[in-house]
Chain A
Amino acid sequence: MTAVDPRPDALTVEHLSKTFSGVTVLNDVSLTIAPGEVHALLGQNGSGKSTLIKALAGVHRPDAGGSVHVAGRPVPSSYPPSDARKFGLAFVHQDLGLIDDMTVAENLAIGTGFERRGLLINGRAQRMRTQTVLDDFGLAISPGATIRELPVTARTLLAIARAFQPSRGANATPLACLILDEPTSALPDNDAELLFAAIERVTAAGVGVGYVTHRLEEVFRIADRATILRDGNRSGTYTVSDMTPASLFTAIVGPKQTDGAVTAPRGSRTGETTSPIVLAAAGLSGRRIQGADLTVREGEIVGVAGLAGSGRSELARLIFGSQASTGGTRRIGARELTSASAREAMDAGVAMVPEDRRRDGCVLTMSVAENITIAKLATNRTGLLDLRRERRQVADAISSFDIRPADPRRAVATLSGGNQQKVVLAKWLARKPSLIILDEPVQGVDVGAKAEIFALLRSTAEAGTGVLVIDSDFDNLANLCDRVVILRAGRIVDELTGSRLTTEDMSRATFGVDDEADVITTTTSQEPKE
Chain B
Amino acid sequence: MTNTTIERTTPVTDATRRTPTTRERMAAGSRFALPGLLVVFIIVFSILNPTTFATLANARTVLSTQSVLALVAMAALLTLVIGEFDLSLGAQMGLSALLLPGLTANGAVPIPLAIVLSILATTLVGLCNGLLVAKAKVNSFIATIGTAALIGAIVLAYSGGTVIFLGVPPELINISSFAPLGIPAPVIYVAVIAVLVWVFLKRTPFGRYMSAVGGSKDAARLSGINTDIVTIVTFMLAGTLTGIAGVVQAGQLGSGNPAVGPSFLLPAFAAVFLGATAYQVGQFNVWGTITAVVTLATGVAGLNLLGLPNWVEPAFNGVALLVAVSLTRYLRGKPL
- In A348-387, which residues have CB < 8 Å from any B CB? 352, 354, 359-366, 370, 373-375, 377, 379, 383-385, 387
Closest A residue to B6 by CB, please name it: A20
Q: Which residues of B contact A387 (CB under 8 A)?
A: 203
Query: Would you call A360 and B7 a contact (CB within 8 A)?
Result: no
Q: Which residues of chain B are within 8 angstroms of A23 by Cβ–Cβ distance?
A: 5, 8-9
SS class, residues of chain B in contact with chain A: helix
A320–B204 alpha-carbon span in the complex (Å): 27
Q: Is A472 within 8 A of B16, CB to CB?
A: no
Complex: chain B residue closest to A443, CB-CB: B4
Bits for B204-229, please: 1 = Cβ < 8 Å to A, else 0.
Answer: 11001101101110111111111000
A444 B1 Cβ-Cβ under 8 A: no
CB-based contact A364/B216 at 8 Å:
yes
Quick check: which of A44-52, A243-251, A457-465 contacts chain B, the rest being far away?
A44-52
Are A21 and B9 interface neighbours, CB within 8 A? yes
B310 on interface, CB distance cutoff 8 Å: no
Taking residues whose C-beta sits less than 8 angstroms from the other chain, chain A's interface range is 35 or more
Assuming the contacts A363-B220, A385-B205, asked whether A20 and B211 have C-beta atoms less than 8 A apart, the reply is no
A466 to chain B, nearest CB (A): 19
Are A364 and B8 neighbours in the complex by a CB distance under 8 Å?
Answer: no
Instruction: Give per-residue flags for A134-145: 1 if the beta carbon is below 8 A from chain B beta carbons, else 0.
Output: 000000000000
Q: Are B219 and A363 in contact (CB under 8 A)?
A: yes
Whether, in the assembled complex, A512 has its beta carbon less than 8 Å from a beta carbon of chain B, the answer is no
Bound complex: CA of A363 vs CA of B16, how far in Å?
A: 21
Q: Are B224 and A343 in contact (CB under 8 A)?
A: yes
Known: A20-B6, A370-B211, A385-B204. A342 touches B221 (CB 8 A): yes
Interface membership of chain A positions 4-31, coded 1 if the CB is closer than 8 angstroms to chain B and 0 otherwise: 0000000000000000111101100000
B:56-71 near A, CB below 8 Å: none
Q: Please give me the residue from chain B that is nearest to A50 by CB atom.
A: B1
Q: Does A224 contact B (CB under 8 A)?
A: no
Interface centre among A25, A320, A379, by most chain B C-beta atoms within 10 angstroms, is: A25
CB contacts (< 8 Å) of B203 on chain A: these are 384-385, 387
In the assembly, what is the distance between CA of A88 and CA of B12, in Å?
A: 36
Q: Looking at the complex, which one of A342, A359, A414 makes contact with B216 (CB distance below 8 Å)?
A: A359
Interfacial residues of chain B within 1-44, with CB under 8 A of chain A in the complex: 1-16
Known A-B contacts A25-B5, A370-B211; the reply to A377 vs B220 at CB < 8 A is no
Contacts of B13 in A (CB 8 A): 414
Known A416-B12, A444-B4, A472-B4; judge A384-B223 contact (CB<8 A).
Answer: no
**Is B154 part of the contact surface with A, judged by Cβ < 8 Å?**
no
Contacts of A48 in B (CB 8 A): 1
Q: Which residues of A contact B312 (CB under 8 A)?
A: none
If the complex has contacts A20-B6, A385-B204, are A417 and B219 also in contact, measured as CB distance less than 8 A? no
Contact indicator B211/A363 (Cβ below 8 Å): yes
Assess whether B223 is in contact with A374, with CB atoms less than 8 Å apart: yes
* Cα separation A169 to B12 with both chains bound (whole Å): 44
From known contacts A20-B5, A22-B9, A23-B9, infer whether A366 and B215 are also in contact, taking CB-CB under 8 Å.
Answer: yes
Cβ-defined contact, A443 with B3, below 8 A: yes
A232/B204 in contact, CB under 8 A:
no
Contact A377 B205 (CB under 8 A): yes
Q: Does B199 contact A (CB under 8 A)?
A: yes
When distances are taken between beta carbons in the complex, the residues of chain A under 8 Å from B218 are 359-360
A346 within 8 A of B: yes
Residue ID in chain A nearest B204 by CB atoms: A384
Whether B216 pairs with A384 at a CB distance below 8 angstroms is: no
CA distance A373 to B4 in the complex (A): 28
A405 contacts partner chain B, Cβ-Cβ < 8 Å: yes
CA distance A158 to B96 in the complex (A): 55
Q: Please determine whether A322 and B221 come into contact, CB atoms closer than 8 angstroms.
A: yes
Inter-chain contacts of A149 with B (CB < 8 A):
none
- Bound together, the chains give a CA A442 to CA B223 distance in angstroms of 20
Query: Are A363 and B215 closer than 8 Å at their CB atoms?
Result: yes
- Chain A residues near B283: list those with CB within 8 A: 365
Q: In the complex, A379→B14 CA distance in Å?
A: 32
Please name all residues of chain B whose beta carbon is closer than 8 Å to the beta carbon of A45 when the two chains form the complex: 2, 4
Minimum CB distance partner of A476 in chain B: B4
- Taking a contact as CB atoms under 8 Å apart, the answer to whether B199 and A20 are in contact is no
How far, in angstroms, from A427 to B4 measured CA to CA in the complex?
23
> Which of A49, A343, A360 is B226 in contact with, Cβ under 8 Å?
A343
From B5, B9, B199, residue with most partner A Cβ within 10 Å = B5
Q: How far is the CB of B156 from chain A (nearest CB, A)?
A: 36
Given A25-B9, A50-B1, A363-B212: A414 touches B222 (CB 8 Å cut-off): no
Contacts of B9 in A (CB 8 A): 20-23, 25
**A21-B1 contact given A51-B6, A342-B221, A366-B211, CB 8 Å threshold:** no
The one of A359, A407, A415, A472 in contact with B219, judged by C-beta atoms closer than 8 angstroms, is: A359
Chain B, residue nearest A384 (CB)? B203
Q: A49 near B1 (CB under 8 angstroms)? A: yes
Q: How far is the CB of B210 from chain A (nearest CB, A)?
A: 11
Contacts of B215 in A (CB 8 A): 363-366
Q: Is A445 an interface residue (CB 8 A)?
A: yes
> Are the C-beta atoms of B7 and A417 separated by less than 8 Å?
yes
In whole angstroms, how far apart are the Cα atoms of A364 and B16 in the complex?
18
Would you list which residues of chain A between 316 and 360 have a CB under 8 Å from chain B? Answer: 320, 322, 342-343, 346, 352, 354, 359-360
A396 at the interface (CB under 8 A from B): no
Q: Are B222's CB and A322's CB within 8 A? A: yes
A352 x B208 contact (CB < 8 A): no
Task: Chain A residues near B214: list those with CB within 8 A.
Answer: 365
How many whole Å from B317's CB to the nearest CB in chain A?
A: 27
Of the candidates B4, B8, B208, the one whose C-beta lies within 8 Å of that of A385 is B208
Q: In the assembled complex, which residues on chain A have CB atoms less than 8 Å from the CB atom of B5?
A: 20, 23, 25, 46, 51
Residues of B within 8 Å of A416, CB to CB, are 12, 14
Instruction: Please indicate which of the listed interface residues B8, B11, B212 has the most CB atoms of chain A within 10 Å of its own CB.
Output: B8
Is A360 a contact partner of B222 (Cβ separation < 8 A)? yes
Known: A20-B6, A473-B4. 14 other contacts (CB 8 A): A23-B8, A25-B5, A48-B1, A320-B222, A322-B222, A342-B221, A362-B219, A363-B215, A363-B220, A373-B208, A384-B204, A443-B4, A444-B3, A444-B4
Provide 6 A-B residue pairs closer than 8 Å at the C-beta atoms, listed in order of the A residue: A20-B6, A50-B3, A374-B220, A375-B224, A443-B3, A446-B12
Residues of chain B touching chain A, judged by Cβ–Cβ distance below 8 Å, are 1-16, 199, 203-205, 208-209, 211-212, 214-216, 218-226, 282-283
Of all A-B residue pairs in the complex, the 7 with the closest CB atoms, nearest first, are A444-B7, A20-B9, A363-B215, A51-B1, A365-B215, A416-B12, A48-B1
Q: Which residues of A contact B (CB under 8 A)?
A: 20-23, 25-26, 45-52, 232, 308, 320, 322, 342-343, 346, 352, 354, 359-366, 370, 373-375, 377, 379, 383-385, 387, 405, 407, 414-417, 427, 440, 442-446, 472-473
